[in-house]
Amino acid sequence: MSGKISRRSFLSKASAAVAAPYIVPASVLGRGGAIAPSERITVAGIGIHGRGFDDLRAIIGHKDVQVLAICDIWKQQRLAVKEFVDNHNGNQDCAMYRDIREFLAERGDIDAVLIATGDHWHALASILAMRAGKDVYTEKPSTMTIQEGQVVVETARRYGRVYQTGTQRLSEANHVFCIEMARTGRLGKVHTAYAHIAPWDAAKMPNDWKPAQELPPVDEVDWDIWLGSCPWRPFNIEYVRGGWRGYYDFHTSCIGEWGAHTFAQAQAGIDAGETSPVKYEYVDNTTGDGMTCTFASGQKMILSRGDKYWHGSCGERFDGERGWVAAADGYTMPDASSPELLAEYKQVVGEYVERTGRSLDHMRNFLDCVKSREQTVANPSVMHCSMSTVHAANICMWLGRDMHFDPAAEQFINDGEANRMRSRAQREPWVL
């Protein structure tokens, strides 16, 4: 009656509590096809627009991924991504951030980030994220300069981070087949590779800017952060909506637009994935179409803007002593100089998978490496070497003369003007 419990009653209740089974949901233990929380990769998006939504769909579709947050300078996109993620997760928990610094400082629970900002932010966002202990999947082109690539490589090495750039054709069967046919000698000695460059815009880009518009509230669009390390320019909403292509401040030209993909594809097939050409021959046009880039091995890579060597987009082709193979987007099977070269298609692709242990799903390859800590197929070195080729080809076009490049020293030979263009001035506080 006093409200006190006797010792015997307490011990009786305590014994019953200990004896009662503790029910743990099967999802926590990873049963019934569910992934245990300890095995999930927690992910956040940075700058998810357009193509970035394709990446988001690709990563969120894996059962061992949990997307927790979105960071974007544009409120409209923050809300759109949150809605998409919350609908997928069945809750309202996707957090929103405007400032990448605040996001990285607060979210120690995030394992990896998906970066799909405008091109001029890819490298800096990757570097800041890796310094904060995050693994990185970033859209291409992954750098704006040779210097940025050097810092990405060094940051990934120093902080032990997994990094994948979005050159997804390195993980697609048709392109893998062509690369392996060239790399393994099935075409004989390969003397020439061809790499597709984009059929719009030019290599030489204007340094002007769009007409000024009234600056919106910072919570609606944080223009200062959108510009990042680029020179201050008047606000115009078309930039934020994706209208930055073709401007020197924000783009890597028609060469980088597709070359960020195709140079890596072509270089992989001639075992030049971790080097760059030593000579770039200027072509007297506005686009770089037909430029010949020569490697130390004597093998050549020719830039091509049209459909002379493939149909579709982002193609590569390899010419060897025994014939040629080519692939691009939209192919059912690669093209070849003879049907006999396609006879080993399944075997060639299967041998690649067995040798490397890699998935033919580019995003899955990244996630597997997040868990294993192995190098991805489009790791920092592969990215940097192919992007150095992009930047050197651009500099060749901008200066209007042949270039000689030392891939080991990462500098142009006896050309101070070209060497100064390996980096760009950066606006405080957005510096490497």
- pLDDT for 18: 43
pTM assigned to the model: 0.92
- pLDDT for 14: 45
- pLDDT for 33: 58
Where do the domains of the chain lie, and which CATH numbers do they carry? 26-167 (3.40.50.720), 169-204+251-359+378-420 (3.30.360.10), 209-241 (no CATH)
Q: Where are the alpha helices (DSSP H) in 193-307?
A: 223-227, 237-240, 253-269
Q: Which residues, in sequence order, are CB contacts of 372 under 8 Å at separation 6+?
A: none
User: What is the DSSP annotation of 337-370?
Assistant: SSGGGGTTHHHHHHHHHHHH---SSHHHHHHHHH
- pLDDT for 286: 97
Element of type H or E holding 138: strand 135-138
Tokens of 74: 């544009």
Task: Report how far residue 171's alpha carbon sits from residue 51's, in angstroms, rounded to the nearest whole number.
Answer: 18
- pLDDT for 39: 87
Encode the chain (432 residues) as per-residue pLDDT tens digits: 344 454 445 444 444 444 444 544 544 445 555 677 778 999 999 999 999 999 999 999 999 999 999 999 999 999 999 999 999 999 999 999 999 999 999 999 999 999 999 999 999 999 999 999 999 999 999 999 999 999 999 999 999 999 999 999 999 999 999 999 999 999 999 999 999 999 999 999 999 999 999 999 999 999 999 999 999 999 999 999 999 999 999 999 999 999 999 999 999 999 999 999 999 999 999 999 999 999 999 999 999 999 999 999 999 999 999 999 999 999 999 999 999 999 999 999 999 999 999 999 999 999 999 999 999 999 999 999 999 999 999 999 999 999 999 999 999 999 999 999 999 999 999 999
Quick check: 332 and 226 in contact, CB under 8 A? no
Name the nearest CA neighbour of 293 among 282, 277, 304, 306. 277
